[in-house]
Structure 1
Amino acid sequence: MRVLCSTTAGEGHFGPLRVLAQACRAAGHEVRVAAPASFAGAVQRAGLEHVPFAEPSPEAMHAVFASLARMSTEEANGTVMAEVFGRLDAQAAFPDVKRMVRAWRPDVVLRDPAELASLAAAEAAGIAHIEVAIAVAALMEWGLVHLTDPLAELDEVAGLTHGTLLQAAAASPVFTLVPEAMDRAAGHSTGAASAVRDVVRFRARRETGPGRLPGSWGNPEAPLVYVTFGTVAGGLDHLREVFTSTLHALSALPVRVLLTTGASGEVALADVPGNARVEQFWPQDDLMPLAAAVVSHGGFGTTMSALSAGLPQVVIPLFSTDQYLNAEAVSAMGAGVTIHGGPEATPAMAAAVSRVLAESSFSIRSREIAEQIAALPEAADVVDQIGRITDTAAPN
């Protein structure tokens, strides 16, 4: 089986797809990853073959992002979905992805939900395609509302009948790392674009050992609180203060704090409290076995890692819709608490962390969800289902 995976240039978008791509390759299938040229390093570090496609011009991207400052968070997120993913990214990538599909003739396309050029190329070629979720199902239900017009434009670019891509995006099978309880907790859209979809749930294999920390600091007997705001916040000037304010908020608690700033930018923090240590990066698989709680922005990777490890969470969404949906799902499941208000709300962090550490219900519920995730099949065990979907797809 020839498997073409397609992703936008984001670690959070590529992560779930990478798990399935590696499982397909391990099963003996041919795998290629279509991704922006700028994302070649991430694909190659995963041990996968990268096939580049074009990206929008920096000027076009700057024009969109410069306009966001005048918008509410909700409006800005809708604009990014429509203008960046729906129009700029998709239309820039489509010619290259179309050529890839025609030249290589994959049996199936596994796609990041935000990578829409591969959706159009697969539909135009009559090839089976599968969405690999990057968040709870409610995110793409929300996203399709904003993609109605961009997908209609992409229909025209791809020579498809009006409405083809919206219908295809709404009805394609979904492979997801999200447990059913989390999708239910995140709620469901009643919009016209929503549809009943075949959903395959799986889990990533995690090599868990005794854990490992970057040296010693603070009281070694105190509970370890892991703090991360993902790979993007450190590169955004208006969010850098969240690191300092979070450390200040937690400085008086009887805990040890390990904060990672991410790879997107150098974040120099002065006056780090004695109970805290700051690293640009530390493997989450090494941290989770030793942590008592996790503080994050609600990014998909960290949220799922904490749930898989059975750790209670404090989530403070910072900028994107998926973060808000993940935060509300964690709270609704009883696996943690949400802090509303963005970076300005970090003074509430101390009370929230104290609560999830003190109230056993959070740890109990987190462990229950971890057991549900552990009961899901590994990625290697769902590769055959990809093949069955491919076999039942309509012939070209």
Structure 2
Amino acid sequence: MRILFSSTPAHGHLLPLVPLERAARRAGHVTAFLTHGSVADVVAPAEVLSAGATLGEALAEVHRRIGADASTDMSPATVAEFFGGVRIDLGADESLSAAAAFAPDLVIAEAADFLGPLVASSLGVPWVSHGVGIAIDAALADAVMVAAAQRMKERDIELSPPIAAVDPWPDTLQLETWEPSRDRIDIRPEAPEYEHDVPWTAPSFPGRAELPRVLVTLGTIVDEPGTLTAIIESLLEQDVNVVVAMHPASDPRDLTVDASRVHVTGFVPMRYLLDGVDVVVTSGGAGTVLSVLGAAVPMVILPLGLDKPLNAERAAAVGAAAVIHDPRQAGAAAVRVLGTPSFAVAASEMAGRIAAMKPADEVLALLLDRMA
């Protein structure tokens, strides 16, 4: 079988799909990703069918059209223009051509992507929606759907319904008003494995090995050097060791720190970074939250836009995170989390719930059964 995965060209949207793609290749299926070639390294060695605009180009086009910053503005009009409008306008023709050449039997599209559903509907093949985080507000979902459906209508394409909704977000982290769809299949969120992973050796802190270790990461979207510096300075007021994972586009050499207390690195897979870590300070991206909880590590969350405030609220609601609103509060909050056992207990309970979700191989089998 030929399975096409489709996603917005951003780490946080692509990475949740990778475990299912790996499972498909292990099972002998032919796979490819429909996204922009600039993020090919995120899904390597899977083939990439490059189509559409880069993330930066799409954001710039939204700003040109409506004057909004889609990287921070979660209003229905802005979200709809980005995902349902600009993404399709700048990528439909290339996507249709690339998908026709690949000839998929099944399309699996991340929930915010409509190029995948567009090509599936055009080709008459089944498609699956794959979540990347907490279920979005109904008003946002409706606004995006209306914009996308209009773009498809202009191309004489009628959007077909998905055959399933794959969801990596645990039930207990959803909003209290959330109800699962009848076609929902949960999938265990896992950090993807890469054939050419560079071995990661957790840093040593001579003479300080007995102290708690704090990981600081603002994820792959947020790049705010001033905020990162303020977090580090706040942590250095406490007796802890600090590991800092820089934004993928940043150079670790640009950050001047006390190397005896702070270790700075570029992009390293989260499953390695969490080795020996006692608490994580993060901006609250969905992928980071799920990875950290899956490793039974509590968090301090400084939510920085988009879905992050909601992710922070839900992680705090289950008792696994403290939420701050000023980077200068990071040190005191980390010490509070370290000194309050209930945070670690809650994180461990969430790790157990995540481990009980279906593995990717099982989910793939369920999808193929549903197709039949």
289-298 vs 151-160, greater mean Cα deviation: 151-160
SS of 1:233's equivalent in the other structure is coil
- 1:159 to 2:130 alignment: no
Which 4+ stretches in 1 moved above 6 angstroms? 56-60, 66-74
Residue 278 of structure 1 corresponds to 264
Take 1:90 and 1:69, find their aligned partners in 2: how far apart are those partners?
19
Structure 1 pair 278–218 and aligned structure 2 pair: CA distance change class (3 A): farther
Aligned residue runs from structure 1 range 116-155, under 5 A: 116-137=114-135, 139=136, 141=138, 143-155=140-152
**Aligned residue in 1 for 2:330:** 349
Amino acid at match of 1:10: A
Counterpart in the other structure of 2:107: 109
Other-structure match for 1:188: 178
User: Which of 168, 176, 193 is the aligned partner of 1:177?
Assistant: 168
* Residue correspondence of structure 1 range 282-301 to structure 2 within 5 A: 282-301=268-287
Structure 2 equivalent of residue 324 of structure 1:
309
- Residue in structure 1 matching 2:239, options 239, 245, 254: 254
| 2:211 counterpart residue number | 222
8 Å CA contact 2:59–2:71 kept in 1: the answer is no
CA distance in 2, matches of 1:206, 1:152: 33
Deviation of 1:326 after TM superposition, in Å, equals 1.2
CA distance in 1, matches of 2:59, 2:229: 30
1:192 matched residue in structure 2: none
| Contact 2:245-2:264 at 8 Å conserved across structures | yes
Give the drift of 1:356: 1.2
Contact 1:307 1:366 in 2 (8 A): yes
Within 2, Cα distance between the matches of 1:68 and 1:334? 39
Structure 1 contact 113–133 (Cα < 8 Å) conserved: yes
- The answer to whether the 8 A contact 1:20-1:379 is kept is yes
User: Percent identity over the alignment?
Assistant: 26
- Summarize deviations over 1:292-327 as a string: whole Å, max 9, x none: 11110111221111110111111111122x212211
TM-score in terms of structure 1 length? 0.83
Q: Is the 8 A contact 1:250 1:350 kept in 2?
A: yes
Change (3 A) 1:91 1:368: same
Comparing 7-16 with 57-66, greater Cα deviation is found at 57-66
After TM superposition, give the deviation of residue 255 of structure 1 in Å. Answer: 1.2
Change (3 A) 1:69 1:147: closer
State the distance in 1 between where 2:132 and 2:192 align. Answer: 21
Task: Quote the Cα distance in structure 2 between the aligned partners of 1:337 and 1:261.
Answer: 22
Please state how far the C-alpha of 1:29 moved relative to its aligned partner: 1.2
CA distance in 2, matches of 1:203, 1:249: 34
Of 89-98 and 198-207, the range deviating more from structure 2: 198-207
Q: In the alignment, residue 295 of structure 2 is paired with which amino acid?
A: A
Q: Confirm or deny: 8 A CA contact 1:56 1:88 kept in the other structure.
A: no
Work out the number of aligned pairs and report it: 365
In structure 2, what is the Cα distance between the partners aligned to 1:72 and 1:4? 27
**2:103 is matched by which residue type in structure 1?**
R
**Alignment pair present for 1:10 and 2:7:** no
Counterpart-to-counterpart distance in 1, 2:95 and 2:8: 12
Question: What per-residue deviation string (whole Å, max 9, x for no partner) do you get for residues 198-234 of structure 1?
Answer: 11112255699xx841343562101111110012323
**1:231-270 alignment to 2 at 5 Å?**
231-234=220-223, 239-266=224-251, 268-270=254-256
SS of aligned partner of 1:200: strand
The SS at the match of 1:42 is helix
Unaligned runs of 5+ in 1: 190-194, 392-396
1:41 shift after superposition: 3.3
Q: CA–CA distance in 2 between the matches of 1:26 and 1:72?
A: 37
Using the size of structure 2 for normalisation, the TM-score is 0.88
Aligned to 2:344: 363
The match for 2:367 is: 386
- Identify the residue that residue 295 of structure 2 maps to in structure 1: 309
Is contact 1:94-1:118 (8 Å) kept? no
Bigger shift: 72-81 or 126-135?
72-81
Distance 1:225 1:79, change over 3 A: farther
Is 1:62 the counterpart of 2:60? The answer is yes
Question: How far 1:152 sits from its partner (Å)?
Answer: 3.2
Determine helix, strand or coil for the equivalent of 1:24: helix
Task: Summarize deviations over 1:176-201 as a string: whole Å, max 9, x none.
Answer: 2222211245x539xxxxx8341111
The CA deviation string for residues 79-130 of structure 1, in whole angstroms up to 9 with x for no partner, is 5422222211112221222234434432211001222122122123332111
Ranges in structure 2 where 5+ consecutive residues have no aligned partner: 194-199
2: CA distance, partners of 1:226 / 1:49: 32
- Does the 8 Å contact 1:226/1:257 carry over to 2? yes
Q: CA deviation at 1:64?
A: 2.8
